[in-house]
Amino acid sequence: MSLPPDYHVHTKLCHHASGETSDYAASAVRRGMAELCFTDHAPAPCGYDAKYRMAVADFDRYLQIVDDARHDGRIPVCLGIEADYYEGCREFQDDWLSRGAFDMVLGSVHYIGDWGFDSPENSHIWEEVDVTAAWREYFSLVGCLADSGLYDVLGHLDLPKKFGYRPSDRDLDEMARPALDRIAAAGMGIEINTGGLRKPVAEIYPAPRLLSLARERAIPITFGSDAHNPEDVGYAFEEAVALAGEAGYSEYVVFRKRERTNVPLEG
């Protein structure tokens, strides 16, 4: 079985990943992938979450190291970026995202207000908040992300489950449905992200029931490992492909210059 390409891969420029882009590419080749898409954490000039992303001044360097991996010639390499959605991001991203020659822009919500809810440093806050209300706020931000029209694919749809704090299935469905409606209306995709398997929750993002809701809306999918080191490229993709099949997916999508193409899923 040839694995779908990995469309969520970081680089050392974000200060919490390691390895050279050529090592990530080599790892994708070893796993028999047809291509690879780098999606490092986008810079944010306002100083937003500065510790965990490339500096604005590093962006040219990012273009260069992605290009280095491409010129390596072992595998086609796409230029992507993981750009956060947060209040006020528009000011910068509107202009900046349209200027970069991106193949795909992955949109993620990592913050509810100023709470970086998926950071281990802040995980104790989950003990203090109303978990269902926090999830509801998260999904409303996801809806705004979709409405913004800035992004091609939503990253890790149910990221708030990372440390195991969850609403009831009924509440989850009720809040996820309108968010998925807005993702579908925006013509966006979502990703099957295996990074969750390496976190306390030990589950792929999104959960099977959410993936089925996405499938009902014909929302296209990509696959991502969220690798922060070369060894994690394509992490547990066999499991991710099986999950997609169980939800009724028979295709995934790839991107060039933000135009997507369907590819049949090999089971």
The one of Zn ion, Fe ion, none whose footprint includes residue 160, by CB under 5 to 8 A per kind, is none
- C-alpha 134/C-alpha 43 separation (Å) is 26
Residues from 214 through 233 that contact Zn ion (CB under 5 A): 226
> To 10 degrees, the CA torsion angle through 155, 157, 159, 160?
140
- C-alpha 247/C-alpha 208 separation (Å) is 7
Closer to Fe ion by CB, 199 or 260: give it. 199
Q: How far is the CB of 195 from Zn ion (least distance, A)?
A: 6
Q: Count residues contacting Fe ion (CB under 5 A)?
A: 4
Closer to Zn ion by CB, 119 or 132: give it. 119
- Is position 84 an interface residue for Zn ion (rule: CB under 5 A)? no
What does the longest C-alpha to C-alpha distance in the chain come to?
Answer: 50
Q: How far is the CB of 158 from Fe ion (least distance, A)?
A: 12
Name the residue with the smallest CB distance to Fe ion. Answer: 108
Contacting range for Fe ion; rule: CB under 5 A; set: 55-63, 66-74, 79-87, 91-99: 79-87
Query: CA 57: distance to chain centroid?
Result: 23
Q: Count CB atoms within 10 A of the CB of residue 76.
A: 17
Fill in the amino acid letter for 58: D
- Is position 226 an interface residue for Fe ion (rule: CB under 5 A)? yes
Q: Which of 11, 108, 194, 225 binds Fe ion (CB under 5 A)?
A: 108
Q: How far is the CB of 109 from Zn ion (least distance, A)?
A: 10
Positions in the binding site for Zn ion (CB under 5 A): 226
Positions in the binding site for Fe ion (CB under 5 A): 82, 108, 155, 226
